[in-house]
Amino acid sequence: MFSDDFTRQPVPETFKHSGFWLANIIIGIAICLPVFVFGGELASQLPFIELIIVLVLGGISTGILMGLTSGVGAYTRLSATLLGRKIFGRVGGQALMISVIITSLGWWGVQLEIMSDILNTLLKTSYSIEIGKEIITIVIGLLMITTTIIGAQAIGKLSILAVPLMFIMLLIPLFLMPEGPSLDKLMNHSIETPASMGLMIAGMMGGWMSGVVIMPDFGRFTSSFKTAFSGALTACIVGMTILMGLSAFLSIWLDAPNFIMAYPAMGLGLIAIIVIILSTWTSNDNNLYAAVLPVATATKSISRPLLSLAFGLIGIILCVFGLFSQFISWLVLNGILMSPIAACMIAYFFLARKELLWETQDNNFKSMPLIAWAIGSGVGYLTSPKAVYGLELFSITTAPPLDSFMVTGIIISIYLLIKRNRTKS
């Protein structure tokens, strides 16, 4: 019944899922409570024009990166962990594995914590039901583990079923507003002290950088680079720009920082509960899958389904540590750590793609990619605002994750070009 999802070898060519299959998985990831909450955060800190600019630039930039790393997975048929071994070496690849595990489990904890808090409040206010956050966390958390235990095929099927349903439920409030969705209210939306657009773009990119890095895990099941790239790019633009924009607009129209909390007053308490559970489930099963896959790749003694159960239980426990309290800081710092990995994947694909193939011998250690990763992350930390615990010593693009990506990309590209020229001579 359960498969190991080709954790230790390439996906066979018989698996040739379409871009639609990949797009549904990515949109399933995108329809999640952190996106709803961050949309409200954007609305509370940016006037209308700046809000639109941040949504468009953040969505397109991240969509291109996600499309490229998905395409790398489609070309090589390898997971992100196996690609990490090709790029950083068997020993160096362990650093990528640890980063992905920590980041993915962190996202699992963040999303489950947000869901438990909101669901607990909705049950009390809408139906006078008091279950308790801890019980909700355990029950819903165990439910979400099931699709990860089965594997990528179940994750894809859940997304295909749930995504259209959630889109419909998110649009229902537009038809129930007494005055309708007012364009004037959006256009006249202003903030006395707007936040930095660079910081908000950094938050968007940072929140998705772990997704950019793990996209080969799903892109490897698609038919070609073109299929993976187009599916991921389209899905990211829809999933990020439109969904986050809708969240921001609903927050403005309903005068609620978190628009989901306004549903009960409109008689939509049950719909709010369904949206909260489904949106967290379709996103969190991907987070857990990404955390489990590196360990499943490294060990033969424990099966991936059993690891999924164990990691899921650990993730449930993480919720008690208050991961959501520093949400924006988490997003930005996550971005400066993960974006250099994506830069290395993309640079290797364009300049040394044969080294990424399964048939290529793995080195024990590749120092230059690790150095480029460390320098890129360091630069991102130096340019990060003090508001998110960065040093803010200087600025490059005003988006620290993009700074990390660019610096790492330049260093590793120069290294690969010099290496290629030496080989030719």
How far CA 377 is from CA of 89, 336, 372, 408, in Å, comes to 19, 5, 9, 8
In 3D, which of 308, 91, 332, 307 has the Cα closest to residue 205? Answer: 332
Q: What is the pLDDT of residue 324?
A: 56
**Least confident stretch, 75-79, 95-99, 154-158:** 154-158
In a domain, 275, yes or no: yes
Euclidean distance between CA atoms 299 and 312, whole angstroms: 18
Q: Is the pLDDT of residue 3 over 60?
A: no
Share of the chain above pLDDT 70, in %: 96
Dihedral of the CA atoms 41, 42, 45, 50 (nearest 10)?
180
Q: Is 220 exposed, middle or buried (0-12, 13-18, 19+ CB in 10 A)?
A: buried
Q: Is the pLDDT of residue 387 over 80?
A: no
Q: What is the pLDDT of residue 326?
A: 63
Orientation of helix 48-76 relative to helix 225-236, angle to 10°: 160
Q: What is the pLDDT of residue 424?
A: 73
Euclidean distance between CA atoms 197 and 203, whole angstroms: 10
In a domain, 407, yes or no: no
Burial profile 321-333: b = 16 or more Cβ within 10 angstroms, e = fewer: eebbeebbbbbbb
* Token code pair at residue 93: 């690849």
Q: Is the pLDDT of residue 194 over 60?
A: yes
Euclidean distance between CA atoms 267 and 134, whole angstroms: 26
Q: What is the pLDDT of residue 2?
A: 43
- The alpha carbons of the chain give a radius of gyration, in whole angstroms, of 21
Averaged confidence pLDDT in the chain? 86
Q: What is the pLDDT of residues 306-330, one digit of tens each?
A: 998 999 888 888 776 666 556 657 6
In a domain, 289, yes or no: yes
Q: Is the pLDDT of residue 62 over 70?
A: yes
What is the per-residue DSSP string for 225-240?
A: HHHHHHHHHHHHIIII
Q: Is the pLDDT of residue 152 over 80?
A: no
Q: Is the dihedral of CA 106, 107, 108, 110 positive or negative?
A: positive
249 in helix, strand or coil?
helix
Dihedral of the CA atoms 327, 284, 65, 167 (nearest 10)?
-100
Average the pLDDT over 277-297 and give the result.
85
Q: Is the pLDDT of residue 1 over 50?
A: no
* Full-model pTM: 0.82
211 — pLDDT class (breaks 50, 70, 90): confident
In 3D, which of 217, 226, 227 has the Cα closest to residue 83? Answer: 217
* Token code pair at residue 323: 């991961």
Euclidean distance between CA atoms 227 and 100, whole angstroms: 25
Q: Are 10 and 297 in contact (CB under 8 A)?
A: no
Which stretches within 319-397 are classed as H helix?
327-352, 367-383
Euclidean distance between CA atoms 209 and 224, whole angstroms: 22
In a domain, 164, yes or no: yes
Pairwise pLDDT comparison (210 vs 221), residue with the higher score: 221
In a domain, 336, yes or no: no
Q: Is the pLDDT of residue 364 over 50?
A: yes
Between vectors from CA 261 to CA 259 and to CA 262, what angle results, nearest 5°? 70
Domain that holds residue 156: 19-323
Q: What is the pLDDT of residue 66?
A: 94
Average the pLDDT over 251-263 and give the result.
86
Query: How many distinct structural domains can be found in the chain?
Result: 1
In a domain, 7, yes or no: no
In a domain, 348, yes or no: no
Euclidean distance between CA atoms 279 and 55, whole angstroms: 20
In 3D, which of 59, 101, 107 has the Cα closest to residue 80? Answer: 101
Euclidean distance between CA atoms 324 and 44, whole angstroms: 18
In a domain, 404, yes or no: no
- The CATH number given to whatever domain includes residue 38 is 1.10.4160.10
45 — pLDDT class (breaks 50, 70, 90): very high
Average the pLDDT over 114-125 and give the result.
87
